Each structure stands twice: as structure tokens, then as C-alpha cells.
Amino acid sequence: MDNLTEFAGLPVVDFPLEETTEEWRGRLRRVRGAGGDPAAAPSAASAAWRLRISGRTAMDRAEQDEAFARFLAEVGDQVTALTLGTWVDGSLHGPVELLVEHADALPNLRSVFVGDIHSHECELSWIAQPDLAPLVAAFPRLEELAVRGASSALGGELSLHVPSHDALRSLTIESGGLPGPVAREVASSGLPALEHLELWLGVEEYGGSTWPQDLAPVLAGEAFPELRYLGVRNAESVDGWIPVLAEAPVVKRVEVLDLSLGCLTDRGGRELVDRAGAFAGLRRLDLHHHYLGEDMEERVRAAFAGTGVEVDLAYRLEPDTEMDDEDPMYYTAASE
């Protein structure tokens, strides 16, 4: 997993929390300057600001508060998009608490990414996420929330049940293993404006225990009436999801069904061919990063020819067969 270079349609720029005031102001002038002329610079609203403090930095909570206060004083009221990266103790509890505590100082914030962390900084399954429902509640005008990491051995475990929020339009959880309880919390949330739901299910070995019954209200088309994009991504068990989705009322409504990044094999390919009619109302079916054989890939492509469904079958992979005495191994795109 890489650090973001773009979020919410904006370039991601680091706000230098760890630098001295002089260094920080000089860096900010360079960020804002266009051709070295600060007067020609875009406003702070033209960037998605990344906040992170290296684990190698010995900053206590008072120093973190002071650094965050500098950020709020300089650009806070202009910020529309924000990402939270690695933090002092390896947990995202601290920066999330700061955002909630100072929500009034960020009146224009519309998009937040929690866990903008490179795999060299922390493996996906070790990202310590807190309960993010208070964050959503603190920003009633928030439109987009993205999360990387779901459970952790560092004392954090994601929770995300939002009883009511009228503005949130996009929710993404990137995970190497999405626990079923988190999926049930999402499915039972009151998000009437939600258009984009993207869940990375991952593998059982890393806590992935989300099954179709956990998303029953979503699949029934009852949870989110405005849903147009449904992502069941990075799923080890994607083959088993296809017959369920073929019968799911929500598929009749969404425009994009995203089953990419997972372990789609010929078994799932046969289901897609046999049930192509159930998916014929889609605008796009994303299957990229798959393990379909060449013949099956062509059968899937042919099954949707002439239906108007755009099918993405890019990035065909071969299973790992190095161990002759073991079954072929299939890997999701985001795993360890």
C-alpha cells in the first residue's frame, strides 16, 4: 500500500507538523508558491493536507496539540480534504481525537482519509483504527470517508456505526481482513445520501469474516436508497459472492459493481457466464486483478458482449504453483 498522491480530486501535500515554526512556514510558502511567487499561490483549499508524525519523533500529547494548533491557525478554515497518516505511537486514536475536539475549526472539511500509511511504515493489518463514528458525527457536512485498516494487534479495532448522517455520500474501508461486526455496523447505519460503498473484505487469516449475511440490508437494497456503486473488493472468497449478488435486489439499482483485486477464479467465471443476465443492467463490472484462465476470460467477455456492460478484465494473474504437493495459491491484491 502506498501513500496517497491524490484524494478528493486534489493533490496530497504534507503539512510539516514535526518541523520548527521557521521551517514549517518556509515549507508552506514553497507549497503555496507558484513559480516562487507566494502571491500567485493557490489557497489552502487547493490541496488535500496530510497530517502525520513519525514514530521516530518523541512528541508528547502537548507537543502534538501545539503542532495541530499551528495547522488549524494557518489553513484550518480553508481545508476541504484531509488525510491522517502514521502517528507517534502507531495508533490513529490521537489524530482522530484531535479532529473531533477541533471540528469547529474545520468548517469546510468534506473529505477525510484515515490511515494514509505506506506499507513500509505499517502493514495493513497492523494499522490501529479507533471508533470512527464520533468523527463522522462531529462533521455533519462530511461527504467522503475513507479508512485503511480495520483491526489491529496494537490495541485498536475499527468501529463504525453511524445512527444518522444526511451528507455522507462515499464510504470506503480498505482492509486486508474486514471483520463481520464492522460490516454489520456499516450496513445498519443511517446514511440516506450514500452513493458509493467500497469494502475490501480481505482474507480470513487477517481477520476477514464478512459474509453476505453481514451485508443483508445492503444486498436487499434497503440500507442505502441512493447507492450507485458497490465494491466487494480484495476478497479472497469473491467466487462465492457472485451467485449471491446475482440474486441481490441491490444489483438492479447500482451502476457499478466492483469485484476487483480479489481471487476470482474459473469457478466464479462460470457463475458470471451462467448468470450474465442478472448483471446486464450494470454500466460497469470491474473484475481486474483476477485468476481466470484465458479461455474463461474470453467466455466472460463474450457473455457480456452486446449488453452495454463495460467489463474490466485487466491484470490476469497465474496462481502460485511452486509447491507441487500443495494446491495452487491465490492472493488478493492487498495482503501480507
Mapped onto helix, strand or coil, the DSSP state of residue 100 is helix
With beta carbons less than 8 A apart as the criterion, state whether 52 and 19 touch.
Answer: no
Q: What pLDDT does residue 244 have?
A: 98
State the pLDDT confidence band at 21, using cuts at 50, 70 and 90: low
Q: What pLDDT does residue 34 have?
A: 42
329 lies in some domain: no
Q: What pLDDT does residue 38 have?
A: 46
Q: Percent of the chain having pLDDT more than 70?
A: 88
Nearest to 268, CA basis, from 232, 299, 292, 252: 292
Enumerate the β-bridge partners of residue 216: none
What is the rounded distance in angstroms from the CA atom of residue 94 to the CA atom of residue 90?
Answer: 10
291 lies in some domain: yes
What is the rounded distance in angstroms from the CA atom of residue 165 to the CA atom of residue 169?
Answer: 10
- Across 219-236, average pLDDT: 98
pTM of the full structure? 0.93
Full domain range(s) for residue 189: 6-312
Enumerate the β-bridge partners of residue 258: 231, 286
> How many other β-carbons are positioned within 10 Å of the β-carbon of residue 39?
7
Give ∠ CA 41-46-47 in degrees, rounded to 5: 110
How many structural domains comprise the chain? Answer: 1
Among 33-37, 39-43, 183-187, which range has the highest average pLDDT?
Answer: 183-187
pLDDT reading at 33 higher than 70: no
107 lies in some domain: yes
Enumerate the β-bridge partners of residue 285: 257, 311
Q: Which residue has the higher pLDDT, 53 or 305?
A: 305
Q: What pLDDT does residue 195 have?
A: 98
285 lies in some domain: yes
Number of H helices and number of E strands within the chain? Answer: 9, 12
CA 199 to chain centre: 7
Q: What pLDDT does residue 74 have?
A: 85
326 lies in some domain: no
Nearest to 240, CA basis, from 225, 221, 262: 262
Query: What is the phi/psi pair of residue 80, to 5°?
Result: -110, -25
68 lies in some domain: yes
CATH code of 139's domain: 3.80.10.10
C-alpha cell read off for 278: 442478472
Nearest to 50, CA basis, from 93, 91, 23, 87: 87
333 lies in some domain: no
State the pLDDT confidence band at 110, using cuts at 50, 70 and 90: very high
State the pLDDT confidence band at 41, using cuts at 50, 70 and 90: very low
Give CA torsion, residues 233, 193, 147, 12, to 10 deg. 110
Give ∠ CA 215-119-290 in degrees, rounded to 5: 55
Mapped onto helix, strand or coil, the DSSP state of residue 64 is helix
DSSP secondary structure code for residue 211 in this structure: -
- Per-residue DSSP letters for 114-129? E----TTTS-GGG-B-
What is the rounded distance in angstroms from the CA atom of residue 246 to the CA atom of residue 271?
Answer: 9
Q: CA 276 → CA 52, 282, 296, 300, 308, distances in Å?
A: 46, 10, 14, 8, 12
What is the rounded distance in angstroms from the CA atom of residue 248 to the CA atom of residue 101?
Answer: 41
323 lies in some domain: no
Rg of the chain over all Cα atoms, to the nearest angstrom = 21
